[in-house]
Amino acid sequence: MIKIDAIDTQIIDLPTIRGHVLSMATMTEQSVVLVEVLFSDGSTGIGEGTAIGGLSYGAESPESIQSAIETYIAPAIIGMDGDAVNAARLRAQKAVVGNPIARCAVENALWDGLGKRLGLPISTLMGGAVHTGLEVAWTLASGDSDKDIAEALEMLERRRHRQFKLKVGKRAVRDDLAHVGKIKAALGDKAVITVDVNQAWDMHSARWGLKGLQDIGVAMVEQPIPAVQRSGLSMLSKSYEIAVMADEALRGPEDALNHARCHAADAFAVKIAQSGGLSPASEVIAIGKAAGLGLYAGTMLESGVGTAAALQLFSTVETLQWGTELFGPLLFKDDILTTPLRYADFQVHLPEGPGCGVTLDQDKIKFYRRGAPRQTPVKVSV
Ligand code: MUC
Ligand code: MG
């Protein structure tokens, strides 16, 4: 039997290409928790966990992800059968309540190790990809309407993105609507516009907000009100034609079922990290699909490792009505993979190769590792 021998973690801090302005935080860097599982036959598997804006987005931070893995998940699964991904993830779930991002990072590394030992991509282990490329949206969040318009036009010109998600909720509703309206007017029918409020509106603001967004021609609005207000979300999705998407509210299959049951949303932003791994995310997908809801592959702004893991799963899903936002690696000034993921023709492409299909560039990891002296200039690809 190939055993799980050890689990190593490290945090790397990657600068973003510009300030990423969300309703609850402005990101100038992303802290990535890299996980490496070492197996008794000498093979390894990698995974990644990220939070957004420290502890301002959810209940996990990079530091808590690292600590949950090192202190609780590793001792619970070391010595177990390395090929038994389900047994190990279920043991981790028993040892650790909540903390889905930490559990996801370890589960991804177990899948990666298994795929690499078998010489097969994770998507093949899941029955096989039905897509080699997926439509990929970009988030416009510079905090400035004109800069966002210039950024969108450039992306359209380069054929990199034609769906744009606008981050709102920091300003007054009236100002947000003016911002969104200006961008929509500049882009016209050349692009699909969606909006993410990241829970910032109360019900009253959301009513005005959704009405205004609908009149502007925005296609979909993501998590307009707090995640705990499921009946409020249900009311909003029934009151307007604009599609309402649940994001922060979906922390696994139980939340998905509770939302589907009362049609709290028209669509699910499915995130492998928020769901607790590829396997529970596939359950969220199944629930959404069975309920007739639209599906969207969401991101926690992971770098290439987590994004590749997500791609392995979402490439096996027949229809993602809202596409994906698996653009994480493009938000950073540098890429930490030996071969970056390929973005072309408005799609992100499934990497070939076993496991999650990607390899870390160890020089970059050393450079961006938290606490590392940064004297060596590295090539920064923008
Ligand atoms: C979120 O709430 O969706 C995803 C894309 C982005 O820009 O922020 C994240 C978080
Ligand atoms: Mg969101």
**Which ligand lies nearest the alpha carbon of 300?**
1
Give start-end residues of each CATH 3.20.20.120 domain in the chain: 124-349
| Token code pair at residue 289 | 């699909």
Task: Identify the helix (H) or strand (E) that includes residue 175.
Answer: helix 173-187
Cα–Cα dist 104/89, whole Å: 9
Q: Kindly report the length of the chain.
A: 382
State the pTM of this model: 0.96
Q: Does ligand 1 lie within 6 Å of residue 299's CB atom?
A: yes
3-state secondary structure 154-171: HHHHCCCCCEEEEECCCC
Q: Does ligand 1 lie within 6 Å of residue 198's CB atom?
A: yes
Catalytic residue among 116, 165, 167, 170: 167
The crossing angle, in degrees rounded to 10, of helices 278-290 and 85-95 is 90
Write the residue with the smallest CA distance to atom 4 of ligand 1: 299
**Are 300 and 294 within 8 A, CB to CB?**
no
pLDDT digits (tens, 9 = 90+) for 26-85: 999 999 999 999 999 999 999 999 999 999 999 999 999 999 999 999 999 999 999 999
Task: Identify the helix (H) or strand (E) that includes residue 112.
Answer: helix 100-118
Longest dimension (CA), the chain: 62
CA of 308 to the centre of ligand 1 (A): 17
Cα Rg of the chain, angstroms: 20
pLDDT digits (tens, 9 = 90+) for 162-210: 999 999 999 999 999 999 999 999 999 999 999 999 999 999 999 999 9
Cα–Cα dist 332/82, whole Å: 33
Which residues in the chain belong to E strands, given as ranges? 4-21, 26-39, 44-50, 133-135, 138-140, 163-167, 192-196, 220-222, 243-246, 267-270, 294-297, 343-344, 347-349
- Mean pLDDT, all residues of the chain: 97
List per-residue pLDDT tens for the chain, 382 residues long: 999 999 999 999 999 999 999 999 999 999 999 999 999 999 999 999 999 999 999 999 999 999 999 999 999 999 999 999 999 999 999 999 999 999 999 999 999 999 999 999 999 999 999 999 999 999 999 999 999 999 999 999 999 999 999 999 999 999 999 999 999 999 999 999 999 999 999 999 999 999 999 999 999 999 999 999 999 999 999 999 999 999 999 999 999 999 999 999 999 999 999 999 999 999 999 999 999 999 999 999 999 999 999 999 999 999 999 999 999 999 999 999 999 999 999 999 999 999 999 999 999 999 999 988 765 545 545 4
Give start-end residues of each CATH 3.30.390.10 domain in the chain: 4-119+361-368
Q: Among positive and negative, which fits the CA dihedral 258, 264, 268, 273? A: negative
The CATH T-level fold of domain 124-349 is TIM Barrel (3.20.20)
Cα–Cα dist 344/223, whole Å: 29
Which atom in ligand 1 lies closest to the alpha carbon of residue 52?
A: 10
Which atom in ligand 1 lies closest to the alpha carbon of residue 331?
A: 7
CA of 7 to the centre of ligand 2 (A): 30
Q: Does ligand 1 lie within 6 Å of residue 361's CB atom?
A: no
Instruction: Indicate if 325 belongs to the active site.
Output: yes
Instruction: Indicate if 116 belongs to the active site.
Output: no
**Which ligand lies nearest the alpha carbon of 325?**
1
**Which ligand lies nearest the alpha carbon of 27?**
1
Q: Does ligand 1 lie within 6 Å of residue 302's CB atom?
A: no
Among left, alpha and beta (phi > 0; psi -120 to 50; other), residue 355 is left
Strand partners, 345: none
* Helices H / strands E in the chain, number of each: 14, 13
Cα→Cα distances 309→49, 52, 70, Å: 11, 18, 21
Q: What are phi and psi of 117, to 5 degrees?
A: -65, -35
The CATH architecture annotation of domain 4-119+361-368 reads 2-Layer Sandwich (3.30)
